[in-house]
Structure 1
């Protein structure tokens, strides 16, 4: 059985990733890309579906005499994991990492610290998501003239099946056959045992052995160099020009090196999130957007009367005034704690961006259930236009020019498929893949189905289109010029948006129920047109600003008429509705209303009443009558809760924002990683892991605090 989701640590080589459990088992590893078939699949099954266990024998067969304890952490600002095992008075340290210089490998080093510890190593090799067991062959090392025996340090075990192959190196070599290999060995203080596993195409020779010290040093340097680019913005009154960045010497091995020229040097005061600080000043306010558009009082009375009894059972309608927090009320975690959480989240984004293609995956896993035993199981090893655009905003703010260029160019390549029919989701390289396959695996704690592929990518989502255009507006406002490809593609998106006004879709959440006209989707169309108008009027781009302005005002009129419920003083989930969902928190993020607009504050109150868990975290929406195509209700959502925390902070409720941020940080695991949801009934994470959208949202919250 797999470990709890929160018990896993992420390893990454910026092209794929692996999950190591607290028990010392690598239960998930896709090679050579994030979206490749899994080599280790025990996460969605058991040991027979592939894993690599390396842990004290006492941890697997507990002794009544020896106590076993573990401590783990990343080496500062890296994804080099160190786990110290204490077995009675003895101890060992295991260092796990993925080299960053060529190939796809995992390296594990066992170092004796005190006493003697007997270690168990179990290597179960699989391909094709656990379906294929490779033929394994052991190759002895050359004969040592001094002993007349093969050199064990140069032995290797090669597992091969069709196009795939793995080579395992290390001494002692585990014994076994047919891909299942097990061994025990004793580690004494001062001893080191290094093991490595590398993927390669079976029509090639095995890659050369990995030099542990060299590859570890390079990995530490690369991760630390990237995190060292972090721009810690000073308060406005003491802001200074940032120093020139260092450590960016091209190696010639990274495809992204050729893309840096697409992004100019950006100022340190670039905005955060969906709209830059300067861009927010340029966006028309909601009142301006609706100039000349009369508000219709009680426009949703008929919709309320249809189901008012049910509504009043769901929420109370009394309105409490919003009182800004005072400094005396703000007594939560230290600013340093928040900065560290932000830096870890930035590192997670770098770990989930493909160095080869520039695509950001939603997570490295598939089919981890949003509700244990339920059917809300999706493949997150894909790139969402929305997430990539949001990630580009935060890399822009923090001085990561290369990653900003990678993300930008990935979006352009993906949209070039057909910008008049953009999808919400693309493959890691920007390809279209609308096949949703079922894998013959037991599923995480029996949760079915287990999926490979994401069938949602053929559906139009207004939020994806809008977020892309908002982000490109943000780039323009921060000095990033358009090129021969970027602006024509944006114009094609705007033409596509003009055809989608008032059209039903499946919302930002890609529901499986009936399509509807979601207010948030229409607001994102408004944001798209607004970005188009500003491109022409403020940046001199060629385009039909008159048409886009008319479209913008038409959408604004419909949103204020049908997407806002005057009786509730709240925007609503769908036109003419009376319920809310958390996507409405993005209305202020994209500038449709201000953070402290009374209608926005009223929407926040309805979100608190309808969606908030006693912990303070919130659900995405209430699944009334199977609205989203499923019978159950999913747990509170990490990213949604962080959106609410940002709203609190930016509307003067800093104490509440900090408290909610603290709750989220407590729900994250000990390494600062978050999945998509948290089930407070069982005190467990649920959903795919680690979730890029949650980490993007955390970065935004800390930026809102101005630290």
Structure 2
């Protein structure tokens, strides 16, 4: 089966999300949360691992799709020899239970349709019992149950539920799938048309709270903001990196990771993008999530948590799933146990920015920040696994030290700007000590570039953050030298790779090979703007935005050889820099603090 990541669209209810293929098949859905087990897992296997396809029974001559507006209501229009039909897919903002609503609309002609629902719980490994329950079909296995309600007559066939029907012009035929714990009473029926109106109204109201300046990129910015909101877990304010697991960073490779968790780094960057667009409530919700998640001993802060703040995210391989273009399929993420020094800088910076915006000013927040600074002072000289979560030996990553400097810098500025209390002289001294350490040990004067880690010759695109966080100005010769080195060593086919990968280098403990990293390419464009190379920045930005699929969605990486998306999808870590770079090009926020 020739599938591409970009063939999928996103629907969601700000608690979980589904991926809908261009062919009308929902191939990924975890219920009731982002990190719950999937009931449709064909994305990582075959149709036998669970999917819900709704499409014309005959040949499709052309397919178009779009979101109805600035929302997550997906329309897929199929053209056939018999006529045209439209599938409207959405998830109502969560009420009593999570629902997926699919409305089949006859546009013209009379189109024979086929519905094929293969329910497989626990990531495709469990075949549920299916029975009729009044006007609904219910499937149950263990703690999980789902109800399908539709006026169409269904039947069982080869351990799937199927239906054949014809849609004529003007028809609107609904299908509603609802999840509920199996020990509870059946969920109340959903009125599909009312749910549609409520869903479009909810997204319109939400988007109206923010501000997107007029620019050529305003539609892409709005779509990215909506995508980021879709990745927030509404009950807690946590923000997941992506709604998927194990979409490969290299076809047939092993760099397949579970991203359905809340990375402090990703969440802080997402928070900043939302905050500067005027979404203060998201900032407040995330702030409360953070305080709850890391409550207890600050020395035991993790780099990631579950959507409600869970700490144990043990990793295992779901070996019954063949994977998307290769194995393995990983559930959970062992990187949860890593020490990543840069996270402290990200959190300190995010809370500093929130304070600038009038949020996160409570005593408990500053007490947390002071505790975090104690850890930075104690551990900044230790090696760590870094921003790229290497699974090789820890190193003294230059970017990690940079972000430790950011932590100290934001602590000092918080005292100076807001009058909060703290050992500011100690923090100033720490800031200078880290700065001198980076300039002496992270700089390669022979090659005129900062290096990936102290004493190495490798490059790292994360060092493009040096001028963006205010460590050195963009016109500094050391910044220019680093950018030039990255252009020479990591810029391939117009896109930036994360870091040097060769068979004779074992920095990350994995075989070399992956796609170009989209966030790093956006960072290069930001550097160009700060250097006055605006035309080049615009060229890079245009090249990046052309990678968005027809729905405006981006994955984590891109294969410039195979011309296809790679990595988990849609990826917050790609949509955040899209927003930031668009604002930079428009003369707004430039990252510098």
Q: Same fold (TM over 0.5)?
A: yes
Select the residue among 561, 575, 579 that pairs with 1:699.
Answer: 579
SS for the counterpart of 1:471 is helix
Q: Which residue of 1 aligns with 2:178?
A: 198
Shift of 1:124: 0.7
SS for the counterpart of 1:115 is strand
Q: Which residue of 1 aligns with 2:525?
A: 645
Flag the structure with larger Rg: 1
For 1:98 and 1:385, the matched residues in 2 are separated by 27
Which structure 2 residues correspond to residues 27-46 of structure 1 after superposition, within 5 A?
Answer: 27-46=27-46
SS for the counterpart of 2:233 is coil
Q: Does 1:165 align with 2:145?
A: yes
**Contact 2:231/2:239 (CA < 8 Å) preserved in 1?**
yes
Count matched residues. 584
For 2:120 and 2:7, the matched residues in 1 are separated by 23
For 1:442 and 1:101, the matched residues in 2 are separated by 29
SS for the counterpart of 1:441 is coil
Q: Which residue of 2 aligns with 1:26?
A: 26
Shift of 1:177: 6.4
Shift of 1:342: 1.0
Which structure 2 residues correspond to residues 54-203 of structure 1 after superposition, within 5 A?
Answer: 54-58=54-58, 62=59, 68-88=61-81, 90-102=83-95, 103-140=97-134, 155-176=135-156, 180-203=160-183
Which segments of structure 1 move beyond 4 Å, counting only runs of 4 or more? none
Render the CA deviation track for 1:351-387: whole Å, top value 9, x for unaligned. Answer: 0001111111110000111001110000000111011
For 1:101 and 1:679, the matched residues in 2 are separated by 36
For 1:78 and 1:695, the matched residues in 2 are separated by 16
Comparing 664-673 with 686-695, which one deviates more in the overlay? 664-673
Q: Which residue of 1 aligns with 2:16?
A: 16
**Contact 1:2/1:44 (CA < 8 Å) preserved in 2?**
no
Shift of 1:202: 0.8
**Contact 1:645/1:656 (CA < 8 Å) preserved in 2?**
yes
Which structure 2 residues correspond to residues 508-657 of structure 1 after superposition, within 5 A?
Answer: 508-614=387-493, 616-624=494-502, 625=504, 626-657=506-537
Shift of 1:2: 7.0
Per the alignment, do residues 443 and 368 of structure 1 end up closer, same or farther by CA in structure 2, a change over 3 Å counting?
farther
CA RMSD of aligned residues (A): 1.5
For 1:13 and 1:479, the matched residues in 2 are separated by 28
For 1:679 and 1:405, the matched residues in 2 are separated by 37
Per the alignment, do residues 443 and 485 of structure 1 end up closer, same or farther by CA in structure 2, a change over 3 Å counting?
farther
Render the CA deviation track for 1:416-465: whole Å, top value 9, x for unaligned. Answer: 14321321111111221241111133333452221110111111111111
Q: Which residue of 2 aligns with 1:244?
A: none
For 1:443 and 1:657, the matched residues in 2 are separated by 40
Calculate the TM-score normalised by the size of structure 2: 0.96
Shift of 1:596: 2.4
SS for the counterpart of 1:36 is coil
For 2:198 and 2:340, the matched residues in 1 are separated by 41
**Contact 1:462/1:521 (CA < 8 Å) preserved in 2?**
yes
**Contact 1:536/1:543 (CA < 8 Å) preserved in 2?**
yes
Comparing 115-124 with 527-536, which one deviates more in the overlay? 527-536
Render the CA deviation track for 1:494-553: whole Å, top value 9, x for unaligned. Answer: 111111122111110001111110000001001101111222233221211122222111
SS for the counterpart of 1:640 is helix
Comparing 435-444 with 35-44, which one deviates more in the overlay? 435-444
Select the residue among 392, 402, 415 that pairs with 2:271.
Answer: 392
**Contact 1:2/1:46 (CA < 8 Å) preserved in 2?**
no
Q: Does 1:415 align with 2:408?
A: no
**Contact 2:11/2:91 (CA < 8 Å) preserved in 1?**
yes
For 1:412 and 1:481, the matched residues in 2 are separated by 10
For 2:450 and 2:68, the matched residues in 1 are separated by 45
Which structure 2 residues correspond to residues 287-366 of structure 1 after superposition, within 5 A?
Answer: 335-336=215-216, 338-366=217-245
Q: Does 1:488 align with 2:367?
A: yes
Q: Which residue of 1 aligns with 2:591?
A: none
Comparing 193-202 with 176-185, which one deviates more in the overlay? 176-185
Calculate the TM-score normalised by the size of structure 1: 0.81
Select the residue among 657, 668, 676 that pairs with 2:548.
Answer: 668
SS for the counterpart of 1:128 is helix
Q: Which residue of 1 aligns with 2:194?
A: 214
Render the CA deviation track for 1:583-617: whole Å, top value 9, x for unaligned. Answer: 10111121111222221111111111110112x11
Q: Does 1:689 align with 2:574?
A: no
Q: Which residue of 2 aligns with 1:223?
A: 203
**Contact 2:262/2:305 (CA < 8 Å) preserved in 1?**
yes
**Contact 1:422/1:460 (CA < 8 Å) preserved in 2?**
no
Higher strand share: 2
| Structure 2 portions without partners, runs of 5+ | 588-593
Shift of 1:476: 2.2
**Contact 1:73/1:82 (CA < 8 Å) preserved in 2?**
yes
Render the CA deviation track for 1:366-415: whole Å, top value 9, x for unaligned. Answer: 01110011100000001110111112212221111111111111122222
Comparing 31-40 with 547-556, which one deviates more in the overlay? 547-556
**Contact 1:374/1:448 (CA < 8 Å) preserved in 2?**
yes
**Contact 2:319/2:329 (CA < 8 Å) preserved in 1?**
yes
| Structure 1 portions without partners, runs of 5+ | 141-154, 235-334
For 1:480 and 1:214, the matched residues in 2 are separated by 36
